[in-house]
A and B are shown apart, each in its own frame.
Chain A
Amino acid sequence: MESIAGNTVKTKAFKEKANKILGISPEDARLSKSYLTVAFIALLLGGFLGLLQGLNRAGMLELPTWLNYYQVLTAHGLLLVVVLSAFFTIGYFYAGLSHTLGGLLPKVRKMAWIGFWMKMFGFVLAVIPILMNEASVMYTFYPPMAASPIFYIGLVFIVLGIWMCSFGAFINVASWRKANPGQHIPILSFFATGVFVLLFFGSLPVAIEVFMIIPWAFGWVETINVMVARTLFWAFGHTLVNIWYMTAISAWYVIVPKIIDGHRWSDLLTRIVVIALVIMNITGGFHHQIVDPGISESVKYMHVFMSLAIGFPSLMTAYAMFAVFERTARKKGGKGLIGWFKKMPWGDVRFLAPFIAMAAFIPAGAGGIVQSTNQLNQVVHNTMWVVGHFHLTLGMTVVMTFFGISYWLVPYLSKRVLTPQINKLGIVQTIVWTLGMVMMSFAMHWAGLLGSPRRTSYTTYNDNATALGWDPYLFFLAIGGTLLMIGVLMQVYAVFNMMFFAPKGVTEFPIADEEEGAAPTPKWTERWGLWIVLMLALVAMAYVIPLVGFLVDAPPGSPPFKTW
């Protein structure tokens, strides 16, 4: 199929084949392994801090004064929602780009390394003030709470590092497109393109916010516009988590069908899901501001629609996944309305973990729809319900998919194999993690419905009867958190075993093919310029009215406060 005229095309095609047979080049492997190493160390640290919180929240553990609950919570959030996810996503997609595009260009590899060290440097800068209790401002750092300026400078470097990786990916994809005119970007690289487009455009608003904050945190300007800062934050804050979700579904569409020995779902529909998620994502963050003052009800109503619209591609995904499972299982002789389920490879952790991750997205997505709907949001806003929600979406759907990926990606990179022992460990890990998360997030959802607030250290509000009624649920939360810590230890052990100690061997990068005789995908799916224009148009529709309102009719600003 690559036998088109042109020498560059031929060498390129040759390199791609060589890559598939010989595996990833040592340079590209080192890059991805470094990213994954940081990701799983972040999981270990962040998981441990999570355990401390869970135990404190249930009233079972008193934290020392030099490491208080809000410091722990700030670090837990940053480690898991930024470091683990960003480093895993970049490590995974760079391996995917290398595999599907015939290796990374040397300059792209260099950019990814510069990005790596910028993020590490930024992260160290951000963590120092957190440890010194100079930045207990949470992942959201809402002004007018002001952390040490060093914290925000650290964030700038993290964002710049992410941009470096985004542009590296764009350059590599563009060069491949030039060498392969008229061809579709390989599907995994198509996902990668979408993810990096969103990482760049999604982090623009927070970059603007941080540039507003820095001179104010230094005291060079006296006051800040709190609503502009908050709105810019949420244009980023929710996009980020949706990017991690999109990374997870790339594995569902592209990898999982291969693992179960089946074919990919319709290439066209897969690409439409990617395009829809790219166009609609950024505006979804507004549902975090449904009970804010200063925004009219009609603007909020428009945003309900924009948030709910993101549910549609996810519902497309739900159908696609179960259709692939059923088709594959029936081919293997599966019978009956649900009897074919038995034909799925339940004993293979590379399937089991992402499968449970998908199943978790059914309640997680439903909870998300609840939260983005005006009146229902008001019932659960800022309660433990929300914490339960994003532990289902991120802690199960995303992270369990990442775990499932690690069982082939890490041995692929280290040129080792997944042994039956590690596979078994992975199965047990998956079960432990599932039990822990189900227990914890159910307790969180329920306590939240009863009114227990999020981001609050252990308190009975002077032995208030209502607050005391939440305690049994918080106890469940602590048990779930303890199970999760055991899961973290097992997972981190498995990753480093596969990276350094497992037997040498060849592990395949599992990319499923399309069904035989599938209709060719139309060319318009490759019009990335158009998708970006549509995305920006939607962002303008969503944000011009409220932002102009906050800027033109601004109240006097707020000075910085350090309230911890």
Chain B
Amino acid sequence: MHRSEKVWLLLSFGMIIGFMLITGYQAFALGMGPPSHEERIDPQKVDETAPFDRPGITKIGENEYEVVMTLQIFSFTPNQIEVPAGSTVHFTLTSKDVVHGFQVADTNINAMVMPGYVQKISQKFEKPGEYLVLCNEYCGAGHQMMATTITVK
């Protein structure tokens, strides 16, 4: 093997390991790991199961809110959310029918919402504005209309 090839392969290997280490550090030390909540739910009884029997927004602390939300074709419940700037919002999500995606443009919120599973994701909204919430997993004929907004004041 040529010397330059050894160097190249060493660099390649180092790059992959570097990616791994940074990813691991961010995921486990900084708590930036991807949404991975493991709770189960009966997808046909979402309306009767707590906390989804009462979807909505609750203030749970200083600048901290919990949003319990169901996703169904082709809407989000609740569909109007307003929080003051600087608040951290914890979303608890599930689907009442098919697979949906929960994405908020201009933030890092991006999670799959599967029927039968409860998904959780949190985000601190620093800047005021109107954030676009959309479903990013094809869910049927009206998929392109499945959107709402979060207003940060």
Binding site for B on A (CB under 8 A): 68, 70, 136, 138, 142, 144-145, 226-227, 230, 266, 269, 289-297, 300-301, 304-305, 308-309, 311-312, 315-316, 319, 323, 369, 373-375, 377-379, 381-383, 450-451, 453-459, 461-462, 464-467, 553-559, 561, 563-564
Contact = CB atoms under 8 A, between A and B. Distances in A.
Interface of B: 1-2, 5, 8-9, 12-13, 16, 19-20, 23-24, 26-28, 32-45, 73, 97-99, 101, 103, 105-106, 108, 110-119, 130-132, 134-141, 143-145, 147, 149
B114 A319 contact: no
B138 A70 contact: yes
B34 A377 contact: yes
Given A374-B33, A555-B43, 11 more contacts: A70-B143, A144-B99, A227-B114, A230-B99, A293-B117, A297-B33, A304-B20, A311-B16, A373-B19, A381-B112, A464-B147
Nearest to A381: B110
B119 A293 contact: yes
A144 B115 contact: yes
B144 A456 contact: yes
Contacts of B139: 145, 563
B117 A555 contact: yes
Contacts of B32: 375
B117 A227 contact: yes
Contacts of A227: 114, 116-117
Given A226-B116, A382-B103, A559-B44, A316 B12 contact: yes
A557 B114 CA distance: 11
A296 B43 CA distance: 21
Contacts of A323: 2, 5
A115 B139 CA distance: 34
Contacts of A297: 27-28, 33-34, 36
A316 B146 CA distance: 44
B79 to A, nearest CB: 12
A455 B38 contact: no
Contacts of A382: 101, 103, 110, 136-137
Contacts of A144: 43, 97-99, 115
Nearest first, the 9 closest Cβ-Cβ pairs linking A and B are A563-B140, A451-B105, A555-B116, A555-B40, A315-B12, A453-B136, A459-B144, A293-B117, A382-B136
A382 B32 CA distance: 19
B110 A308 contact: no
